[in-house]
Copies of this chain bind each other. A is one copy, B any other.
Amino acid sequence: MERLRDLDEAELLARVLPLYAAAVAPDDAALPVGPGDDAAVLATPSGTVVATTDGMVRGRDWRDDWSSPHDVGVKVSVQNLADVAAMGAVPTGLLVSLVADPDTPVDWVLGLAEGIAAVSRESGAPVVGGDLSSGPAGVVTVTLTALGDLRGRRPVRRSGARPGDVVAVCGTLGTSGGGLALYLAGRSSGGGEDADRLRAAHRAPRPPWEAGPVAAEAGAHALVDVSDGLVTDLGRVARASGVGIDLSGEALRTRFASGPLERCLGADEALRQVLGGGEEHSLVGCFPASVDLGALPGRPWVAVGRVGGTGPDGASVTVDGVVPDVRGWDHFAGA
């Protein structure tokens, strides 16, 4: 098997860069300088640029026996695009930094690049730059930076939620966490189409990043993606905005916890994943009550709660007025 140590950097780049170049047609106006110079130059017609970075570590953020390199490439890309979307922006460029053991198979790296290229193609954001470094034995880390453009709109902050706003979700909830629960329970295959869907959502989610600009255009007061769990992420919105958020248990059960999640995990665990499951990267917005959610273009937004004053004992987020028992994910303490 061909491994990274068998190629020099130029040879590896000669195989990787065409995958990226084929994903998004070159546009010299939008990308005056692409990969290959000291740095890339991107057009920023709005006069601002949105920037975020997020990485994945082999053995921590993915397992090779569960995830293909394509899965990893998709996941690391979409989690960055979701952060861009959560500001209300359109993705415009990706930078890819790979640290890899020289024993890593070349095919694994090409599979990773194909996954990133697939998201690049779907989102229209070209890969504009990157970096390759050799790592210690067994180590592979992939860090992406995503850039975005607000199309002249103001960024949608976490801190803008106001009492009376409707809280609405675009995309699924709990499916990535549900898939992880299946893997952790040893159910890494079988279980039919429902289980396959949950596991796929964990390995390579497809959050609705196109909905970020839609929410911004509709006048959303606050917007985040679900990285660490609905209650955890909405708690950040609530604290930043100085408000409380009350979620509807019925809306969450009927619109999100039912279906594959409930059939695979049972009703209680399904609701727990909807409230606490991370890495879903769906979008949650706080909209003025005057916004007709049903009229928004693209994937549907589902109302799941209301912004009000803080809950009992100053709680930021409640479900039907009660503080839910969920725990978010913490990278170091939770490891």
Contacts and interface: CB of A to CB of B under 8 A. Distances in A.
Interface in A156-191: 157-158
Given A55-B99, A139-B136, A145-B53, A150 B41 contact: yes
Given A59-B136, A143-B131, A9 B332 contact: yes
Interface in A13-72: 32-33, 36-45, 47-61
A322 interface: no
A153 B109 CA distance: 36
B132 A102 contact: no
Contact of A47 (B44, B138, B150): B44
Interface stretch (A87-95, A258-266, A292-300, A303-311): A87-95
A289 interface: no
**A42, A55, A58: most-surrounded residue (chain B CB, <10 A):** A55
A138 B101 CA distance: 14
Interface size class of A (residues with CB under 8 A): 35 or more
A195 interface: no
A7 interface: yes
Interface of A: 4-5, 7-9, 12, 32-33, 36-45, 47-61, 82-84, 86-87, 89, 93, 95-97, 99, 102, 128-136, 138-139, 141, 143, 145-148, 150, 155, 157-158, 223-225, 330-333, 335
